[in-house]
Structures are given as C-alpha cells and as structure tokens.
Amino acid sequence: MSSGPLTQAPLSDTDLHALHAYWRAANYLSVGQIYLLDNPLLREPLTLEHVKPRLLGHWGTTPGLNFVYAHLNRLIRARGLEILYVAGPGHGGPGMVANTYLEGTYSELYPDVAQSTDGLRRLFRQFSFPGGIPSHVAPQTPGSIHEGGELGYSLAHAFGAAFDNPELLVACVIGDGEAETGPLAASWHSNKFLDAARDGAVLPILHLNGYKIANPTLLARIPEPELRQLLEGYGYAPHVVSGDDPATMHQLMAATLDRVADEIAEIQRAAREDGVIERPHWPMIVLRTPKGWTGPKEVDGLPAEGTFRSHQVPLAQLSSNPEHLAQLEQWLRSYRPEELFDEDGALRSELAAQAPLGARRMGAIPHANGGALTRDLELPDFRGYAVAAAGPATTTSEATRVLGRWLRDVLVLNAEQANFRIFGPDETASNRLTAVFEATDRTWEAERRDTDDHLAPDGRVMEVLSEHLCEGWLEGYVLTGRHGLFNCYEAFIHIVDAMVNQHAKWLKVSTEVPWRRPLPSLNILLSSHVWQQDHNGFSHQDPGFIDHVANKRAEVVRVYLPPDTNCLLSVADHCLRSRHYINVIVAGKAPALNFLDMEDAVVHCTRGLGIWPWASSDAAQEPDVVMACAGDVATVEALAATALLRERLPELHVRFVNVVDLMRLQPETEHPHGLSDAGFDALFPPGKPVIFAYHGYPMLIHRLTYRRANHQEIHVRGYKEEGTTTTPFDMLMLNDMDRFHLVMDVIDRVPGLRAAASGLRQEMVDERLRHRAFTRATGDDPPTIREWTWPAGNA
Ligand SMILES: Cc1ncc(C[n+]2csc(CCOP(=O)(O)OP(=O)(O)O)c2C)c(N)n1
Ligand SMILES: [Mg+2]
C-alpha cells in the first residue's frame, strides 16, 4: 500500500477560505431550517415572528455531516470520483437538504425551492413543518438511499450499494451512538465480503462527536489506542481526524481524504491489474469533532457545544426567553450570511464552484435513485423446471431444491450484467438451494482452506450468520437498482422485523416522490418453516413474520404460500420480475406432495386462490362445507381430511379451496390484490362453514377476512404456539391442525352432522390417540401418514 506521510496542508489559502465558507453556508442553512420561518438572510433584526412555533430537528450531528459533505465535494472535483453519501445519523436531515440545495440538485427536483431569497424562505419553512418535509434524510432527500431514522443499518446499506459497482465509492458516516447497535457492530465485517476487483469501495467515517441524546458514547470514551485496535481488529486501517479548530481541521481532513483516496485507488489497482487477492486493509476515518460544532457554546449557564445538550435544538425557549432569541441571532450571524449569498439570495458563484457538476453531485448520483438504473433480470423459463404431477398428490418433490435449479440458471443468465445475488445466514444449503453452487460460490475474502465448500472472493451467494447483514446488504443492493433474494429460516427472520419495517416505509414514501423510480422488490424466501423442524424444536417454530408484514401498507407487501413445487416456481418467477414490493414466500424444503401440473400451477398462482375441482366432491354444486388451506403442510392435512370426509360421508359436499396469495383474502378496498366481495362469496358462500387450515397463527386469517359476509363461519386452525422436537405429524396434532381434527371440526360445524356423524367423530378422537401413541412407541409417524397420497378413485 502506497501511503506516504500526510501532506500537512494541502489546501491553499484560497481553497481553505472557500471550503470553510461552503461549510459555513451549509451550517447556516441547517440552522435556518430548524428555526426560521422568514427573514432567511437576516436582512432585518430577528424577531419572534421570524421563528417557527415548534422547533423540531437535530442540530448536534449536522455540522459534522456538513463538514464531511464539503470535503467529499472537494475530493470528487479533484479526482472525478463517483461518491454516494450514506448518512448514518439520518436525523441530520437539515445538513443533507442544505448541501443538496447548495449544489443545485434540490432546486432542480423541487423548482419552487429556488436559488433565491424566496427559495430560501421556502427551504427553511418546509423543514419539519406540516405539509413540508421530514426531519430525517428521507426518500424526499436527493441523493439518499438511507433515512437513518432507526439507527444501525448505514454500513450494511453502504456495502450493499458498493457490491457490483466497481466505480462507486460509498462514503458512510456512522454515528458513534449508532456504532453501539448490534447490526452496526456486525457490519464492520462486511469488508470480508467485498471484492476489490469486482465491487466498489466503502469508506466508513466513524463520527466520534462523543455523544448520543443524553449520554456519552462508548467509542469516544475508550482510549484512542484501544479504539484503533478495535478497528484494526475488524480489518481496517483507521485514520484519525481530530480537533475543533476549523482551519486546522480543514487541512487535516483534506490531507486525510487525499491519502485515503490514494489507498483505495491502489488497493483497486492491485486487485484489478495485478490480480492481488489478499484481503486488503481498507482505510477508514475516525472523525472526532465536538457535537454541535460551531453552535452555542453555553445555554442557560450549561455547556452546549461539545456535549449531548446540543443533540436536538440547543436554544429551545425562544418565545419565553429573550436571551435565547438573541443567542440564536448571534449564532446565525456568526456564519456571516451576507458573505455567502448574493443580493438575490443565491449562493455566491465562487462558492457554488466548490460543488461538483452534473451527476457527480452527491444529490444527483444515479445510484441513489436505483430504480432508474434497474435492468430487468433475464429469467429462464420456469416451466422447464416443472416436476411431473400426474395424478394429483401422488408424487413428491423438494420444492426449494427444485427452485435452486432455476435460481442456478438465473445466476448463469445474469452473470454478465452482474445484478443478482442471493443472501442468507448460512442456510442456502440447509434450505436445499444447493444447485446454485453449480453456478457460483459463496463470497469470502477471508482465509480459505482446501476443505471448504464453494468459497470464493467473487461468489454471488452471500452467507454470514447475521440476518441483519443479509437484510441490510440486500436493501443496499436493491436500493441501488439491483435484484436479490434473502433465504432464511422462518423463525429467525423476526430478527430483522424492524429493518423490514423501515424498508417498507421507504418504499411507501418513495412511491409518493415523483422523481423516484420503482425499485426491484426485496424478496424473502422463508424455508425450514414451523412444520418442518426435525432437527430443532420450539425455538425454531414461529410463523409470525407473515403477521408482521401484513401490518405494512398494502401497496408494498405481498405474501405467498405456494402449496407445492410447481407453484413455488411460478411464484418465484413473478417475484423476481416485480417492482417495489416486499415479497415474502414461505415454502418447505422437505419432500412433499405435488398437487398441480405446471399449467394448472400458473393459473392457480395467477388467480392467487381457487377451488381445486379434483379434490372437491362436486365443484359445480353448492357446498355444505368449504375446506380451505394456505401453506404446503396445511394443504396436505386439508386434503387428507377431505379424502376422509369424501370416503366416510359421501353425501357431504366438500369444496376444496387453496390460497397461495394471502392478500387475496382481504377486501379489494384494503389491498390491491383483494378479492371483490362477490368473488369471495362465490368461493366461500355466506352461511356455509369454512374450515381453514393455515400455515401460521390463525388470527391473521380472521384479521384478513373480518369484513367478509361469511366471517362468522370461518374457523381457522393453525399454529398456536405448541411446539417441541417431535415428529411432523405430532406437531400438527399438538396444534389441532391434523387431518383427524379437521374432520372433527367439519362435523362440529356443519349443521346436522354432530348427531349424524358422531361415530366418525369418535373414530377421529381415537385416531389421534393412536397416532400419538405410535409416535411415543416408535419415534416416528406411521407410514400411513408419511406415505399418504390422494386416493386414486377420488380424483
Ligand atoms: C435503533 C435506534 N434506537 C434509538 C434511537 C433514538 N435516537 C435517535 S438519535 C440517538 C443518538 C444517536 O447518537 P449518534 O449515533 O452518536 O448520533 P449523533 O451524535 O451524530 O447525533 C438516539 C438514541 C434511534 N433513532 N434508533
Ligand atoms: Mg454521536
């Protein structure tokens, strides 16, 4: 690595002066946004009428974010770099808005916020104001892929953005408070998954302003050598930029960024030209500045600058305390706005020249509007991977294993355009997607041994035992316009509930921002699900992620429960083509019955739900009872119960309905996939009992259908938090979702059957006891269960 001694003062006096003035301008605009309604250039004395009635925003982090922005501008101009800025402390929204305004991108996207006195007034007024813009670096903010509202995900997003973007440098400011979170702590390890030859670079900038909301931060209060060792231990080469004197700090930051850029360029040159494959020690910056730098030093006799007290609004009692108003005016005037903006309120031209041009401006970088860069995936025809399902429910296949073959070919077909990756916490093989390793490897930049299985620096399967990292990388990858799939054990996807929330919020809001283009969907495949935990037990049994996702805005979430392999192929193809959704697919990996041939599967999945005529007594007739199901295992049980009913109660008309697309159950007013009431009533006729075997927690089906005419008659079986390490059928019995219990449910619910079929009901009770005893005696389910197929005569 060629890193000579730091040039102590790379900035000429003129450059230093201009850089400092640019920073002052950004700081001025940031304070202005937090406080001012009017008098944007302080051309008259400040009065209470000029100030917002509610003071909302975060000053403390902002001068540091502005400092970094101004210096990155210089670096971009000097070297023609393409830099994406990720602001971990996204509560510093005013800073990112200020900078994109100064560089011109803001006014291009929002012409009413022009480079004029009137534009400045609007810029200030709209911030954290009803009908205006949010306080964070939200989707409305140009150049942002990261809101930073919920802290912890900045570095994972940054790496996700850098993968497969060899020319991109992602500068990621990490709050020192944010660095205390679990996801951020794991994110440092992303450097073991970044290929210097193939991927772009990430420059972490740990913003050590020393404080959070009310506390100091850990990393600011350990001795610097210990901090260095920590970061070196994560594999980085840290450079410290520390101080509070602006002139000294400008020189130091400029010199450090020059050096860091040299180091990154050399790492990339060595990897790309010399084929060096040793894991590089990427540079990073530790930026130690006072929190609320350049803000009020003291407020009400207590120190503000350089303490947690400057986190939000350091002067908050403007209306009741004239001293605060005077201090605010003094603070604003300390940036000397008259030197920064001309008569008309535009940034002076010598300062405007500090910003990069065109798409090199960080607010205009195309990667931050990933949808505009998205190329469709080339998808192999999934029909070619179909399993033969002749005679429904008689042959078996492993759904995810077959899907793996299709995904393998997705990887092959898109190898050149390098825009598809698979993410997972060490479970790609366990989830039986193993065929993908015929096309690629697992990404791995750390040591490799001969005994390892499919590890390579340029693999496209990203496995790390951190669901946070898998989710964060994938989010960064799709936010910058590429495609991916996250495969995860069903129970442990809950670890990223909160991250998925935030992504859903981003998707929802960005649909309302006219210049943002739809993104590739975030695809989550849940396998090794609640009903298939042979090796594990209760800890691995939790189907509740679906409930969580169902709370999100209907426009952005889709949940699919393909009953068999061919349906999974059809659903997966649909998801990888879709845009701007969070698609959740739940599919088993164990050998399971095939119900539909491919032609039927495509129709069924496109419809989203429907009657299976071959399983129903007589599809043309009005049913006495509807046997409904959603989920692969639930479908087998419902089908086995239906077979029993048809054999034992041949007069009973059973209609069999399978649901693939869970959101179809909602009314059309609630979800774009919702079924009309007429459509719903046609499947589930009012007054006719519905016994619904559902993969997850029963309450969700009630939630989704409560507005339906027939809701009173919908009786749901599902997982009711009974679990342990036991046989698959015992799991079903523990939760009353086994075929025998479903038959009992039908007898209990269909008028007249209780008396007429009491003998059969007792048999069902006895069957449960017998099967329970069998598992206890042998340790397995009886072959009649394990090898059950649909009785030939029925089809
Ligand atoms: C996960 C999460 N927990 C708590 C909060 C509430 N919160 C907002 S800002 C903040 C302090 C952040 O400190 P730091 O990361 O150091 O940022 P800075 O000092 O630059 O403002 C906290 C705790 C949050 N936004 N996200
Ligand atoms: Mg901090």
Closest ligand (CA of 214): 1
Task: Report how far ligand 2's centroid is from the alpha carbon of 100 (Å).
Answer: 23
Question: Tell me, what's the pLDDT at 795?
Answer: 47
> Rounded distance, CA 795 to CA 153, Å?
52
Distance of alpha carbon 550 from alpha carbon 426, whole angstroms: 27
Query: Following DSSP, what letter does each residue of 728-788 receive, concatenated?
Result: HHHHHHHTT-SHHHHHHHHHHHSTTHHHHTHHHHHHHHHHHHHHHHHHHHHSS--HHHHT-
Please state, in angstroms and rounded to a whole number, the distance separating the CA atoms of residues 209 and 307.
Answer: 8
The values of phi and psi at residue 664, to 5°, are -65, -25
- What separation in Å is there between the alpha carbon of 89 and the centre of ligand 1? 7
Residue 716 tokens read as 């749901």
646-655 pLDDT tens trace: 999 999 999 9
Nearest ligand to the CA atom of 63 = 1
Q: Which atom of ligand 1 is nearest to the CA of 179?
A: 15
Residue 52 in tokens: 């917002």
Instruction: Please report the pLDDT score of residue 1 as a whole number.
Output: 38
Residue 324 confidence (pLDDT): 96
- pLDDT for the residue 423: 98
Q: Which ligand 1 atom is the nearest neighbour of the CA of 175?
A: 15
Using only C-alpha atoms, the chain has a radius of gyration, in whole angstroms, of 30
pLDDT value of position 5: 56
What is the distance in A from the centroid of ligand 2 to the CA of 213? 8
Residue from 252, 264, 222 nearest 68 by CA: 252
Backbone angles phi, psi at 298, to 5 degrees: -140, 140
**Would you say 436 and 405 are in contact if contact means Cβ atoms under 8 Å apart?**
no
Q: Whose atoms come closest to the Cα of 92: which ligand?
A: 1
Kindly give the distance from the C-alpha atom of residue 159 to the centroid of ligand 2, in angstroms, as a whole number. Answer: 22
Choose which residue among 59, 68, 137, 178 to substitute to test ligand 1 binding: the one with the highest number of ligand atoms within 8 A of its C-beta. Answer: 178
**8 A C-beta contact, residue 278 and residue 457:** no
Give the length of the chain: 795
CB atoms within 10 A of CB 782: 15
How distant, in Å, are the alpha carbons of 95, 217, 446, 614 from that of 291? Answer: 14, 11, 36, 69
Give yes or no for a contact between 731 and 540, defined as CB atoms under 8 angstroms apart.
Answer: no
CA 444 to chain centre: 23
Describe the strand order of the beta sheet including 455-456 as a list of residue ranges: 455-456, 442-443, 461-463, 420-424, 483-489, 522-527, 582-586, 557-560
> Which ligand has the nearest atom to the CA of 288?
2
Ligand closest to 58 (CA) is 1
How many Å apart are CA 723 and CA 542, to the nearest integer? 9
Q: Please state the φ and ψ torsions of residue 483, each to the nearest 5 degrees.
A: -115, 155
- b vs e for 554-591, b when ≥16 Cβ sit within 10 Å of the residue's Cβ? bebbbbbbbbbbbbbbbbbbbbbeeebbbbbbbbbbbe
Whether this model's pTM surpasses 0.95: yes
Nearest alpha carbon to residue 382 among 562, 520, 566, 592: 566
Residue owning the nearest CA to atom 18 of ligand 1: 61
Q: How far is the CA of 599 from the centre of ligand 1 (A)?
A: 52
Point out the ligand nearest to the CA of residue 173.
1
Alpha carbon of 473 to ligand 2 centroid (Å): 24
Pocket test of ligand 1: the residue of 66, 91, 151 to mutate, having most ligand atoms within 8 Å of its CB, is 151
What's the CA-to-centroid distance between 8 and ligand 1, angstroms?
33
Which numbered atom of ligand 1 lies nearest the CA of 150? 26
Tokens 């401006």 -> residue: 361
315: nearest Cα among 608, 124, 36: 36
pLDDT at site 3: 45
Going by CA atoms, what residue is nearest to atom 21 of ligand 1? 61
Closest CA to 541 of 721, 704, 366, 698: 721
**Cα–Cα distance between 237 and 281 in angstroms, integer?**
6
Closest ligand 1 atom to residue 149 Cα is 25
pLDDT in tens, 348-382: 999 999 999 999 999 999 999 999 999 999 999 99
Q: Which atom of ligand 1 lies closest to the CA of 213?
A: 11
Q: Give the pair of three-digit tokens for residue 91.
A: 């509560």
497: Cβ–Cβ under 8 A, 6 or more apart, which residues? Answer: 545, 548
Using the atom order of ligand 1, give the atom closest to the CA of residue 148.
25
Q: Whose CA is nearest to atom 14 of ligand 1?
A: 177
Interatomic CA distance for residues 253 and 239, integer angstroms = 10
Which atom of ligand 1 has the smallest separation from the CA of 88?
15
Which protein residue has the closest C-alpha to ligand 1 atom 20? 61
Cβ contact 308:213 at 8 Å: yes
Q: Which atom of ligand 1 sits closest to the CA of residue 311?
A: 21
| Closest approach atom of ligand 1 to CA 92 | 21
Q: How far is CA 183 from CA 103, 230, 469, 621, in A?
A: 32, 16, 7, 55
Tell me how far apart the alpha carbons of residues 407 and 515 are, in angstroms, rounded to a whole number: 32
Q: What's the distance, CA 68 to chain centroid? A: 26
Q: What is the dihedral of CA 402, 403, 404, 408, to 10 degrees?
A: 110
| Nearest of 586, 587, 584, 590 to residue 471 by alpha carbon | 584
Within 8 A by CB and 6+ apart from 41, the residues are: 117, 120, 337, 338, 341, 345
**Contact assessment for residue 109 and residue 193, using Cβ atoms and an 8 Å cutoff:** no
**Ramachandran angles phi, psi of 430, nearest 5°:** -60, -35
Q: Nearest CA to 157 among 185, 187, 186?
A: 187
Q: Name which of 556, 496, 482 is nearest 526 in CA terms.
A: 496
Distance 76 CA to ligand 2 centre (A): 26
pLDDT of residue 2: 38
* Residues 6 or more apart in contact with residue 256 via CB below 8 angstroms: 6, 239, 241, 285
Atom of ligand 1 at shortest range from CA of 180? 15
Strand ranges of the sheet holding 283-288, from the earlier edge strand across to the other edge: 82-87, 168-175, 201-208, 283-288, 237-242
CA of residue 221 to ligand 2 center, whole Å: 12
> Which ligand does the CA of 64 lie closest to?
1
Instruction: Name residues contacting ligand 1 (CB within 6 A).
Output: 60-61, 89, 91, 150-152, 175-178, 181, 207, 209, 211-213, 217, 291, 311
61 CA to centre of ligand 2 in angstroms = 7
Please tell me the distance between residue 213's alpha carbon and the centre of ligand 1 in angstroms: 7
Q: Which residues of the chain have pLDDT under 70?
A: 1-7, 793-795
Dihedral sign for Cα atoms in the order 325, 329, 330, 332: positive
CA-nearest of 581, 545, 681 to 623 is 681
* Ligand 2 centroid to residue 702 C-alpha, Å: 45
Q: How far is the CA of 506 from the centre of ligand 1 (A)?
A: 19
Q: Closest ligand to 180 CA? A: 1
- What's the pLDDT at 221? 98
Residue whose CB lies within 8 A of the most ligand 1 atoms, among 212, 213, 219, 502, for a mutation test: 212
Q: Give SS3 for 578.
A: coil
Give bridge partners of residue 691 from the DSSP assignment.
627, 715
In this structure, the residue with its CA closest to atom 25 of ligand 1 is 150
Residue 208 Cα to ligand 2 midpoint, Å, equals 6
In the structure, ligand 2 is a single-atom ion and the residues with CB under 5 Å from it are: 175-177, 209
Contact 526, 495 (CB under 8 A): no
C-alpha span between 506 and 127 (Å, rounded): 18
Nearest CA to ligand 1 atom 11: 212
> Quick one: CA dihedral 212, 218, 223, 225, positive or negative?
negative
Query: What totals of helices (H) and strands (E) does the chain contain, helices first?
Result: 26, 22
Return the ligand number nearest the Cα of 152: 1
Confirm if 473 and 163 have CB atoms less than 8 A apart.
Answer: yes
* CA 151 to ligand 2 center in whole angstroms: 11
d(CA 662, CA 548): 13
Ligand 1 atom closest to residue 498's alpha carbon, by position in its atom list: 1
Distance 88 CA to ligand 1 centre (A): 9
For residue 181, the ligand 1 atom closest to its alpha carbon is 1
